[in-house]
Amino acid sequence: MLLYNSLTKRKEEFIPLQKGKVTMYNCGPTVYGQPSIGNYRSFLVADLLKRYLQYQGYQVNQVMNITDVGHLENDSDTGEDKLEKKARQEKKEPLEIARLYEESFHRDIKKLNIIPAEVYPRATEHIQDMIDLVQLLLDKGIAYEAGGSIYFDLTRFPEYGKLSGNTLEDLIAGKRVEIKKEKRNPFDFALWIHNPDHLMQWEAPWGKGYPGWHLECSVMSIKYLGETIDIHTGGEDNKFPHHECEIAQSEAATGKQFVRFWLHIKHLLVNGGKMSKSLGNTYTIADIEAKGFSLRALRYFLISGHYRQNLNFTFDALEAAEKALAKIQNFLELIRKSDNQHADLNELIEQAKEKFRDSLGDDLNISGALAAVFDFMRKINTLISDGKISRKNSEEIITLMRKFDSILAVMDFTEERETKGVETELIQLLLSYRSEFKASKNWQMADRIRDDLKKMGIHLKDTPDGTIWSIE
Ligand SMILES: [Zn+2]
Protein backbone atom coordinates (compact mmCIF):
# COMPACT_ATOMS: atom_id res chain seq x y z
CA MET A 1 0.00 0.00 0.00
CA LEU A 2 1.15 3.53 -0.80
CA LEU A 3 0.47 6.26 1.74
CA TYR A 4 1.29 9.94 1.55
CA ASN A 5 3.49 10.65 4.53
CA SER A 6 3.21 14.28 5.71
CA LEU A 7 6.60 13.90 7.38
CA THR A 8 8.51 13.08 4.19
CA LYS A 9 6.01 14.84 1.94
CA ARG A 10 5.78 12.00 -0.52
CA LYS A 11 3.94 8.77 -1.15
CA GLU A 12 5.74 5.84 0.40
CA GLU A 13 5.24 2.11 0.45
CA PHE A 14 3.59 1.29 3.75
CA ILE A 15 5.14 -1.68 5.51
CA PRO A 16 4.36 -1.98 9.22
CA LEU A 17 7.08 -2.31 11.78
CA GLN A 18 5.78 -5.70 12.89
CA LYS A 19 4.77 -8.25 10.28
CA GLY A 20 1.00 -8.46 9.90
CA LYS A 21 0.29 -5.90 12.61
CA VAL A 22 -0.38 -2.19 12.36
CA THR A 23 -0.34 0.33 15.19
CA MET A 24 -2.43 3.45 14.60
CA TYR A 25 -3.17 6.46 16.77
CA ASN A 26 -5.87 9.02 15.91
CA CYS A 27 -6.27 12.35 17.63
CA GLY A 28 -9.77 12.01 19.02
CA PRO A 29 -12.50 14.39 20.09
CA THR A 30 -12.31 17.08 22.75
CA VAL A 31 -15.55 16.26 24.49
CA TYR A 32 -16.98 19.71 25.22
CA GLY A 33 -19.75 19.64 22.60
CA GLN A 34 -21.13 17.64 19.70
CA PRO A 35 -18.36 17.07 17.15
CA SER A 36 -19.10 18.59 13.74
CA ILE A 37 -19.44 16.49 10.62
CA GLY A 38 -15.99 17.91 9.77
CA ASN A 39 -14.51 16.13 12.80
CA TYR A 40 -16.27 12.97 11.67
CA ARG A 41 -14.68 13.26 8.24
CA SER A 42 -11.35 12.85 9.97
CA PHE A 43 -12.55 9.86 12.03
CA LEU A 44 -14.08 8.27 8.92
CA VAL A 45 -10.79 8.46 7.03
CA ALA A 46 -9.18 6.60 9.93
CA ASP A 47 -11.99 4.04 9.71
CA LEU A 48 -11.56 3.66 5.95
CA LEU A 49 -7.84 3.11 6.42
CA LYS A 50 -8.41 0.61 9.23
CA ARG A 51 -10.96 -1.31 7.17
CA TYR A 52 -8.65 -1.39 4.17
CA LEU A 53 -5.74 -2.66 6.26
CA GLN A 54 -7.99 -5.34 7.76
CA TYR A 55 -9.20 -6.25 4.26
CA GLN A 56 -5.54 -6.78 3.37
CA GLY A 57 -5.18 -9.14 6.31
CA TYR A 58 -3.50 -6.86 8.84
CA GLN A 59 -4.41 -6.85 12.48
CA VAL A 60 -4.90 -3.20 13.38
CA ASN A 61 -4.37 -1.97 16.91
CA GLN A 62 -6.03 1.44 16.97
CA VAL A 63 -6.08 3.98 19.78
CA MET A 64 -8.13 7.17 19.83
CA ASN A 65 -7.85 9.54 22.76
CA ILE A 66 -10.69 11.30 24.50
CA THR A 67 -9.58 14.80 25.48
CA ASP A 68 -11.31 15.75 28.71
CA VAL A 69 -8.81 18.28 30.02
CA GLY A 70 -6.15 20.70 28.83
CA HIS A 71 -7.32 21.61 25.31
CA LEU A 72 -7.19 25.41 25.39
CA GLU A 73 -9.21 27.59 23.08
CA ASN A 74 -6.46 28.51 20.66
CA ASP A 75 -4.76 25.08 20.47
CA SER A 76 -1.71 26.57 22.16
CA ASP A 77 -0.88 27.82 25.67
CA THR A 78 -3.42 30.59 25.88
CA GLY A 79 -7.17 30.86 26.22
CA GLU A 80 -9.60 29.02 28.44
CA ASP A 81 -9.85 25.22 28.69
CA LYS A 82 -12.62 24.36 26.19
CA LEU A 83 -14.20 21.94 28.63
CA GLU A 84 -14.17 24.25 31.59
CA LYS A 85 -15.65 27.08 29.55
CA LYS A 86 -18.58 24.87 28.56
CA ALA A 87 -18.98 23.66 32.16
CA ARG A 88 -19.10 27.25 33.38
CA GLN A 89 -21.70 28.16 30.74
CA GLU A 90 -23.87 25.19 31.61
CA LYS A 91 -23.27 25.36 35.36
CA LYS A 92 -22.04 21.77 35.46
CA GLU A 93 -18.90 19.98 36.55
CA PRO A 94 -16.26 19.70 33.79
CA LEU A 95 -16.28 15.89 33.95
CA GLU A 96 -20.08 15.85 33.80
CA ILE A 97 -19.81 17.71 30.48
CA ALA A 98 -17.01 15.42 29.32
CA ARG A 99 -18.88 12.17 29.96
CA LEU A 100 -22.08 13.50 28.40
CA TYR A 101 -20.39 14.36 25.11
CA GLU A 102 -18.17 11.30 25.17
CA GLU A 103 -21.31 9.17 25.27
CA SER A 104 -22.90 10.99 22.38
CA PHE A 105 -19.62 10.63 20.44
CA HIS A 106 -19.77 6.85 20.89
CA ARG A 107 -23.41 6.83 19.77
CA ASP A 108 -22.51 8.84 16.65
CA ILE A 109 -19.63 6.64 15.58
CA LYS A 110 -21.88 3.63 15.90
CA LYS A 111 -24.47 5.30 13.69
CA LEU A 112 -21.76 6.08 11.14
CA ASN A 113 -20.69 2.41 11.03
CA ILE A 114 -17.23 3.26 12.33
CA ILE A 115 -15.43 0.21 13.74
CA PRO A 116 -14.56 1.11 17.34
CA ALA A 117 -10.91 1.63 18.24
CA GLU A 118 -9.30 -0.97 20.51
CA VAL A 119 -8.91 1.66 23.25
CA TYR A 120 -10.37 5.11 23.88
CA PRO A 121 -8.16 6.37 26.72
CA ARG A 122 -9.24 9.48 28.61
CA ALA A 123 -6.66 12.16 29.39
CA THR A 124 -7.86 12.59 32.99
CA GLU A 125 -7.24 8.89 33.65
CA HIS A 126 -3.58 9.09 32.58
CA ILE A 127 -2.34 11.96 34.72
CA GLN A 128 0.33 9.87 36.46
CA ASP A 129 1.72 8.66 33.10
CA MET A 130 1.89 12.29 31.99
CA ILE A 131 3.65 13.35 35.18
CA ASP A 132 6.18 10.55 34.59
CA LEU A 133 6.95 11.79 31.07
CA VAL A 134 7.30 15.38 32.24
CA GLN A 135 9.64 14.22 35.01
CA LEU A 136 11.75 12.34 32.46
CA LEU A 137 12.05 15.48 30.33
CA LEU A 138 12.93 17.51 33.43
CA ASP A 139 15.60 14.97 34.40
CA LYS A 140 17.05 15.15 30.90
CA GLY A 141 17.20 18.93 31.10
CA ILE A 142 14.86 19.30 28.13
CA ALA A 143 12.00 20.73 30.19
CA TYR A 144 12.17 23.44 32.85
CA GLU A 145 9.97 24.92 35.53
CA ALA A 146 8.89 28.54 35.46
CA GLY A 147 6.17 30.14 37.56
CA GLY A 148 4.88 26.72 38.62
CA SER A 149 4.41 25.57 34.99
CA ILE A 150 6.67 23.19 33.11
CA TYR A 151 7.79 24.13 29.61
CA PHE A 152 9.53 22.24 26.84
CA ASP A 153 12.78 23.96 25.88
CA LEU A 154 12.68 24.09 22.08
CA THR A 155 16.38 24.87 21.81
CA ARG A 156 17.00 21.35 23.14
CA PHE A 157 15.18 19.72 20.25
CA PRO A 158 16.74 20.96 16.99
CA GLU A 159 14.44 18.82 14.87
CA TYR A 160 11.42 20.89 15.89
CA GLY A 161 9.58 21.92 12.71
CA LYS A 162 10.37 18.78 10.70
CA LEU A 163 6.69 17.95 10.26
CA SER A 164 5.07 21.35 9.76
CA GLY A 165 8.03 23.37 8.51
CA ASN A 166 7.68 25.72 11.49
CA THR A 167 11.25 25.61 12.73
CA LEU A 168 12.26 27.63 15.75
CA GLU A 169 14.20 29.96 13.46
CA ASP A 170 11.16 30.61 11.29
CA LEU A 171 8.93 31.12 14.31
CA ILE A 172 11.30 33.70 15.76
CA ALA A 173 11.50 35.46 12.39
CA GLY A 174 7.71 35.39 12.08
CA LYS A 175 5.28 37.71 13.74
CA ARG A 176 3.68 35.32 16.20
CA VAL A 177 3.51 37.08 19.52
CA GLU A 178 3.85 35.17 22.74
CA ILE A 179 2.48 36.68 25.90
CA LYS A 180 3.87 34.46 28.64
CA LYS A 181 6.95 36.24 29.90
CA GLU A 182 8.12 33.40 32.14
CA LYS A 183 9.25 31.20 29.21
CA ARG A 184 12.94 31.03 28.38
CA ASN A 185 12.16 31.19 24.70
CA PRO A 186 8.87 32.66 23.51
CA PHE A 187 7.90 29.53 21.56
CA ASP A 188 8.51 26.96 24.28
CA PHE A 189 5.25 25.12 24.85
CA ALA A 190 3.63 24.06 28.11
CA LEU A 191 3.74 20.46 29.31
CA TRP A 192 2.14 21.23 32.65
CA ILE A 193 0.18 24.36 33.43
CA HIS A 194 -0.04 26.12 36.75
CA ASN A 195 -3.25 28.10 37.01
CA PRO A 196 -5.14 28.36 40.34
CA ASP A 197 -8.35 29.31 38.47
CA HIS A 198 -8.47 26.02 36.58
CA LEU A 199 -11.20 23.78 38.04
CA MET A 200 -9.45 20.44 37.44
CA GLN A 201 -6.15 20.25 39.36
CA TRP A 202 -3.70 17.46 40.11
CA GLU A 203 -0.74 17.19 42.46
CA ALA A 204 2.65 16.84 40.81
CA PRO A 205 6.17 16.80 42.30
CA TRP A 206 6.66 20.41 41.14
CA GLY A 207 3.25 21.63 42.26
CA LYS A 208 -0.44 21.61 41.43
CA GLY A 209 -1.68 22.05 37.89
CA TYR A 210 -3.04 20.30 34.85
CA PRO A 211 -1.45 18.73 31.76
CA GLY A 212 -1.11 20.39 28.36
CA TRP A 213 -3.13 19.00 25.49
CA HIS A 214 -0.13 17.89 23.38
CA LEU A 215 1.26 15.85 26.25
CA GLU A 216 -1.68 13.45 26.48
CA CYS A 217 -1.32 12.19 22.90
CA SER A 218 2.38 11.42 23.31
CA VAL A 219 1.78 9.64 26.60
CA MET A 220 -1.23 7.56 25.54
CA SER A 221 0.27 6.64 22.17
CA ILE A 222 3.46 5.39 23.85
CA LYS A 223 1.53 3.66 26.62
CA TYR A 224 -0.87 1.69 24.41
CA LEU A 225 1.08 1.30 21.17
CA GLY A 226 4.77 1.58 22.01
CA GLU A 227 7.51 4.15 21.52
CA THR A 228 7.40 3.97 17.73
CA ILE A 229 4.08 3.53 15.96
CA ASP A 230 3.17 2.97 12.32
CA ILE A 231 0.48 5.57 11.65
CA HIS A 232 -0.79 8.71 13.36
CA THR A 233 -3.72 10.60 11.85
CA GLY A 234 -5.42 13.90 12.53
CA GLY A 235 -7.03 16.88 10.87
CA GLU A 236 -4.70 19.23 9.00
CA ASP A 237 -5.21 21.82 11.75
CA ASN A 238 -3.60 19.35 14.19
CA LYS A 239 -0.30 19.39 12.30
CA PHE A 240 0.91 22.54 14.04
CA PRO A 241 1.43 23.07 16.86
CA HIS A 242 -0.19 19.87 18.18
CA HIS A 243 1.62 17.16 16.22
CA GLU A 244 4.89 19.06 16.05
CA CYS A 245 4.83 19.23 19.86
CA GLU A 246 3.90 15.54 20.15
CA ILE A 247 7.01 14.66 18.11
CA ALA A 248 9.25 16.91 20.22
CA GLN A 249 8.05 15.50 23.57
CA SER A 250 8.06 11.85 22.50
CA GLU A 251 11.32 11.79 20.59
CA ALA A 252 13.14 13.86 23.21
CA ALA A 253 11.92 11.42 25.87
CA THR A 254 12.53 8.09 24.12
CA GLY A 255 15.30 8.97 21.68
CA LYS A 256 13.36 7.03 19.05
CA GLN A 257 11.24 7.96 16.07
CA PHE A 258 7.69 8.57 17.38
CA VAL A 259 5.60 8.01 14.26
CA ARG A 260 6.56 6.43 10.93
CA PHE A 261 3.62 7.69 8.84
CA TRP A 262 1.75 10.91 9.51
CA LEU A 263 -1.59 11.31 7.73
CA HIS A 264 -3.36 14.66 7.69
CA ILE A 265 -6.94 15.06 6.61
CA LYS A 266 -8.01 18.26 4.87
CA HIS A 267 -10.93 20.32 6.08
CA LEU A 268 -14.55 19.82 5.26
CA LEU A 269 -15.91 23.03 3.75
CA VAL A 270 -19.51 24.19 3.85
CA ASN A 271 -20.91 25.79 0.69
CA GLY A 272 -17.36 26.39 -0.47
CA GLY A 273 -16.27 28.22 2.68
CA LYS A 274 -14.79 27.48 6.04
CA MET A 275 -16.95 25.66 8.57
CA SER A 276 -16.69 27.13 12.04
CA LYS A 277 -18.67 27.53 15.19
CA SER A 278 -18.24 31.31 15.07
CA LEU A 279 -19.78 31.45 11.58
CA GLY A 280 -22.68 29.32 12.80
CA ASN A 281 -22.42 26.94 9.84
CA THR A 282 -21.28 23.79 11.58
CA TYR A 283 -23.48 20.73 11.35
CA THR A 284 -23.61 17.85 13.77
CA ILE A 285 -24.84 14.31 13.22
CA ALA A 286 -28.09 15.29 14.95
CA ASP A 287 -28.57 18.20 12.51
CA ILE A 288 -28.23 15.86 9.53
CA GLU A 289 -30.68 13.38 11.04
CA ALA A 290 -33.15 16.17 11.84
CA LYS A 291 -33.16 17.18 8.18
CA GLY A 292 -34.28 13.69 7.23
CA PHE A 293 -31.07 12.45 5.62
CA SER A 294 -29.80 8.96 6.28
CA LEU A 295 -26.46 8.61 8.04
CA ARG A 296 -25.49 6.01 5.44
CA ALA A 297 -25.67 8.85 2.92
CA LEU A 298 -23.63 11.07 5.24
CA ARG A 299 -21.00 8.37 5.60
CA TYR A 300 -20.98 7.83 1.84
CA PHE A 301 -20.58 11.56 1.22
CA LEU A 302 -17.85 12.04 3.83
CA ILE A 303 -15.73 9.15 2.53
CA SER A 304 -16.36 9.91 -1.14
CA GLY A 305 -13.72 12.64 -1.43
CA HIS A 306 -10.00 12.03 -1.19
CA TYR A 307 -8.68 12.86 2.27
CA ARG A 308 -5.89 15.09 0.99
CA GLN A 309 -8.36 17.40 -0.72
CA ASN A 310 -10.96 19.64 0.82
CA LEU A 311 -14.45 18.22 0.59
CA ASN A 312 -17.30 20.65 0.09
CA PHE A 313 -20.46 19.91 2.04
CA THR A 314 -23.80 21.03 0.59
CA PHE A 315 -27.25 19.54 1.01
CA ASP A 316 -27.29 18.94 -2.76
CA ALA A 317 -24.18 16.83 -2.38
CA LEU A 318 -25.86 14.87 0.40
CA GLU A 319 -28.90 14.43 -1.85
CA ALA A 320 -26.59 13.07 -4.57
CA ALA A 321 -25.12 10.65 -2.03
CA GLU A 322 -28.65 9.42 -1.21
CA LYS A 323 -29.24 8.84 -4.94
CA ALA A 324 -25.98 6.95 -5.38
CA LEU A 325 -26.94 4.69 -2.47
CA ALA A 326 -30.44 4.18 -3.88
CA LYS A 327 -28.81 3.04 -7.11
CA ILE A 328 -26.79 0.47 -5.19
CA GLN A 329 -29.84 -0.69 -3.20
CA ASN A 330 -31.94 -1.04 -6.35
CA PHE A 331 -29.14 -3.01 -7.92
CA LEU A 332 -28.98 -5.40 -4.95
CA GLU A 333 -32.75 -5.81 -5.11
CA LEU A 334 -32.64 -6.57 -8.81
CA ILE A 335 -29.80 -9.07 -8.39
CA ARG A 336 -31.69 -10.97 -5.73
CA LYS A 337 -34.62 -11.46 -8.07
CA SER A 338 -32.59 -12.37 -11.11
CA ASP A 339 -33.20 -15.92 -12.30
CA ASN A 340 -32.07 -16.04 -15.93
CA GLN A 341 -29.35 -17.67 -17.98
CA HIS A 342 -26.04 -18.35 -16.30
CA ALA A 343 -23.08 -16.18 -17.26
CA ASP A 344 -19.38 -16.65 -16.56
CA LEU A 345 -18.58 -13.74 -14.28
CA ASN A 346 -15.13 -14.79 -13.07
CA GLU A 347 -13.18 -12.30 -15.13
CA LEU A 348 -15.56 -9.44 -14.45
CA ILE A 349 -15.46 -10.09 -10.71
CA GLU A 350 -11.67 -10.39 -10.62
CA GLN A 351 -11.23 -7.16 -12.56
CA ALA A 352 -13.60 -5.25 -10.31
CA LYS A 353 -11.99 -6.61 -7.16
CA GLU A 354 -8.53 -5.74 -8.39
CA LYS A 355 -9.45 -2.21 -9.40
CA PHE A 356 -11.19 -1.62 -6.08
CA ARG A 357 -8.26 -2.92 -4.04
CA ASP A 358 -5.55 -1.24 -6.11
CA SER A 359 -7.31 2.12 -5.99
CA LEU A 360 -7.60 2.10 -2.22
CA GLY A 361 -4.05 0.81 -2.00
CA ASP A 362 -2.92 3.98 -3.76
CA ASP A 363 -3.14 6.38 -0.81
CA LEU A 364 -6.86 5.60 -0.32
CA ASN A 365 -7.99 6.66 -3.79
CA ILE A 366 -11.68 6.36 -3.03
CA SER A 367 -12.93 7.73 -6.37
CA GLY A 368 -11.18 4.91 -8.17
CA ALA A 369 -12.65 2.39 -5.75
CA LEU A 370 -16.19 3.73 -6.15
CA ALA A 371 -15.76 3.79 -9.93
CA ALA A 372 -14.87 0.09 -9.75
CA VAL A 373 -18.13 -0.61 -7.89
CA PHE A 374 -20.33 1.38 -10.27
CA ASP A 375 -18.57 0.04 -13.39
CA PHE A 376 -19.21 -3.46 -12.15
CA MET A 377 -22.88 -2.70 -11.50
CA ARG A 378 -23.27 -1.20 -14.98
CA LYS A 379 -21.75 -4.28 -16.63
CA ILE A 380 -24.03 -6.59 -14.67
CA ASN A 381 -27.04 -4.46 -15.58
CA THR A 382 -26.16 -4.92 -19.25
CA LEU A 383 -25.99 -8.67 -18.76
CA ILE A 384 -29.40 -8.59 -17.07
CA SER A 385 -30.82 -6.72 -20.05
CA ASP A 386 -29.42 -9.49 -22.24
CA GLY A 387 -31.40 -12.04 -20.27
CA LYS A 388 -28.44 -13.27 -18.25
CA ILE A 389 -27.61 -13.58 -14.49
CA SER A 390 -28.72 -16.81 -12.89
CA ARG A 391 -29.50 -17.50 -9.23
CA LYS A 392 -25.93 -18.71 -8.83
CA ASN A 393 -24.60 -15.56 -10.50
CA SER A 394 -26.58 -13.41 -8.13
CA GLU A 395 -24.91 -15.14 -5.19
CA GLU A 396 -21.47 -14.40 -6.66
CA ILE A 397 -22.46 -10.78 -7.20
CA ILE A 398 -23.82 -10.31 -3.69
CA THR A 399 -20.63 -11.86 -2.27
CA LEU A 400 -18.54 -9.31 -4.16
CA MET A 401 -20.78 -6.42 -3.11
CA ARG A 402 -20.41 -7.53 0.51
CA LYS A 403 -16.66 -7.53 0.06
CA PHE A 404 -16.75 -3.96 -1.23
CA ASP A 405 -18.99 -3.04 1.66
CA SER A 406 -16.63 -4.46 4.25
CA ILE A 407 -14.69 -1.25 3.56
CA LEU A 408 -17.37 1.19 2.38
CA ALA A 409 -19.94 0.16 5.02
CA VAL A 410 -22.84 1.96 3.33
CA MET A 411 -24.94 -0.85 1.87
CA ASP A 412 -28.00 -2.50 3.32
CA PHE A 413 -28.07 -6.25 2.83
CA THR A 414 -31.26 -6.83 4.75
CA GLU A 415 -33.42 -8.95 2.50
CA GLU A 416 -37.01 -8.25 1.53
CA ARG A 417 -37.02 -4.68 2.66
CA GLU A 418 -40.69 -3.85 2.84
CA THR A 419 -40.84 -0.70 0.72
CA LYS A 420 -38.49 -2.09 -1.92
CA GLY A 421 -40.64 -5.19 -2.12
CA VAL A 422 -43.64 -3.02 -2.87
CA GLU A 423 -41.71 -1.06 -5.51
CA THR A 424 -40.81 -4.26 -7.31
CA GLU A 425 -44.42 -5.39 -7.25
CA LEU A 426 -45.56 -2.05 -8.66
CA ILE A 427 -43.14 -2.34 -11.57
CA GLN A 428 -44.41 -5.88 -12.25
CA LEU A 429 -47.97 -4.54 -12.17
CA LEU A 430 -47.16 -1.81 -14.72
CA LEU A 431 -45.49 -4.43 -16.93
CA SER A 432 -48.61 -6.58 -16.85
CA TYR A 433 -50.77 -3.56 -17.86
CA ARG A 434 -48.32 -2.85 -20.65
CA SER A 435 -48.55 -6.34 -22.05
CA GLU A 436 -52.38 -6.05 -21.98
CA PHE A 437 -52.12 -2.76 -23.90
CA LYS A 438 -49.82 -4.42 -26.39
CA ALA A 439 -52.18 -7.35 -26.78
CA SER A 440 -54.98 -4.93 -27.60
CA LYS A 441 -52.62 -3.02 -29.95
CA ASN A 442 -52.80 0.13 -27.82
CA TRP A 443 -49.18 1.04 -28.68
CA GLN A 444 -49.57 4.57 -27.40
CA MET A 445 -50.24 3.46 -23.82
CA ALA A 446 -47.61 0.68 -23.99
CA ASP A 447 -44.97 3.20 -25.07
CA ARG A 448 -46.08 5.69 -22.45
CA ILE A 449 -45.51 3.18 -19.66
CA ARG A 450 -42.09 2.33 -21.10
CA ASP A 451 -41.11 6.02 -21.41
CA ASP A 452 -42.42 7.02 -18.00
CA LEU A 453 -40.52 4.18 -16.36
CA LYS A 454 -37.41 5.22 -18.26
CA LYS A 455 -37.68 8.70 -16.74
CA MET A 456 -37.53 7.00 -13.34
CA GLY A 457 -34.36 5.15 -14.36
CA ILE A 458 -36.16 1.85 -15.01
CA HIS A 459 -35.30 0.41 -18.40
CA LEU A 460 -37.48 -2.16 -20.19
CA LYS A 461 -36.30 -4.60 -22.76
CA ASP A 462 -38.68 -6.73 -24.79
CA THR A 463 -37.38 -10.23 -25.46
CA PRO A 464 -39.02 -13.27 -27.05
CA ASP A 465 -39.57 -14.58 -23.51
CA GLY A 466 -41.22 -11.42 -22.23
CA THR A 467 -40.15 -8.04 -20.91
CA ILE A 468 -37.11 -7.67 -18.66
CA TRP A 469 -36.51 -4.58 -16.55
CA SER A 470 -33.36 -3.13 -15.06
CA ILE A 471 -32.46 -0.05 -13.07
CA GLU A 472 -29.70 2.30 -14.10
ZN1 LIG B 1 -3.49 14.48 19.49
**Residue 361 to residue 322: CA distance in whole angstroms:** 26
Q: What is the largest CA-CA distance in the chain?
A: 96
Gap from CA of 243 to ligand 1 centroid (Å): 7
Nearest to 397 by CA among 339, 325, 453: 339
Instruction: Give residue-wise pLDDT tens across range 265-278.
Output: 999 999 999 988 77
pLDDT for the residue numbered 415:
75
Q: Which residues of the chain have pLDDT under 50?
A: 418
pTM summary value: 0.87
**Residue 461 to residue 387: CA distance in whole angstroms:** 9
- Helix (H), strand (E) at residue 313: strand 311-313
Gap from CA of 26 to ligand 1 centroid (Å): 7
Gap from CA of 362 to ligand 1 centroid (Å): 26
Gap from CA of 343 to ligand 1 centroid (Å): 52
Gap from CA of 214 to ligand 1 centroid (Å): 6
Q: What share of the chain is helix, strand, coil (3-state, %, to 5)?
A: 50, 20, 35
Gap from CA of 120 to ligand 1 centroid (Å): 12
Gap from CA of 14 to ligand 1 centroid (Å): 22
Nearest to 340 by CA among 399, 391, 396: 391
Gap from CA of 354 to ligand 1 centroid (Å): 35
- Per the document, the length of the chain is 472
**Residue 231 to residue 243: CA distance in whole angstroms:** 13
| Torsions phi, psi for 289 (to 5 deg) | -65, -40
Gap from CA of 355 to ligand 1 centroid (Å): 34
Gap from CA of 16 to ligand 1 centroid (Å): 21
> DSSP states of 351-401 as a string?
HHHHHHHHHHHBT--HHHHHHHHHHHHHHHHHHHHTTB--HHHHHHHHHHH
pLDDT for the residue numbered 279:
82
Nearest to 461 by CA among 450, 452, 472, 445: 450
Cβ atoms of residues 67 and 31 within 8 Å: yes
pLDDT for the residue numbered 425:
77
> DSSP states of 440-457 as a string?
TT-HHHHHHHHHHHHHTT
Gap from CA of 28 to ligand 1 centroid (Å): 7
Gap from CA of 95 to ligand 1 centroid (Å): 19
Gap from CA of 67 to ligand 1 centroid (Å): 9
CA atoms within 13 A on the CB side of 94: 18
pLDDT for the residue numbered 145:
97
Which 8-state DSSP code applies to residue 22? E
> DSSP states of 44-55 as a string?
HHHHHHHHHHHH
Instruction: Give residue-wise pLDDT tens across range 38-89.
Output: 999 999 999 999 999 999 999 999 999 999 998 888 766 778 899 889 988 9
Gap from CA of 437 to ligand 1 centroid (Å): 67
Gap from CA of 235 to ligand 1 centroid (Å): 10
| Long-range Cβ contact pairs of 366-374 (< 8 A, separation 24 or more) | 366/48, 366/303, 366/304, 366/305, 366/306, 367/304, 367/306, 369/404, 369/407, 369/408, 370/304, 370/408, 373/328, 373/401, 373/404, 373/408, 374/327
Tell me the Ramachandran region of residue 272: left when phi exceeds 0, alpha when psi lies from -120 to 50, beta otherwise.
left
Gap from CA of 52 to ligand 1 centroid (Å): 23
Cis peptide before 241 (omega within 30 of 0): yes
Amino acid letter, residue 352: A
pLDDT for the residue numbered 168:
87
Gap from CA of 305 to ligand 1 centroid (Å): 23
Gap from CA of 409 to ligand 1 centroid (Å): 26
Domains of the chain, CATH where assigned: 2-265 (3.40.50.620), 287-408 (1.10.730.10), 418-471 (no CATH)
State how far the alpha carbon of 394 is from the alpha carbons of 208, 239, 338, 459, 472, in Å.
66, 47, 7, 19, 17
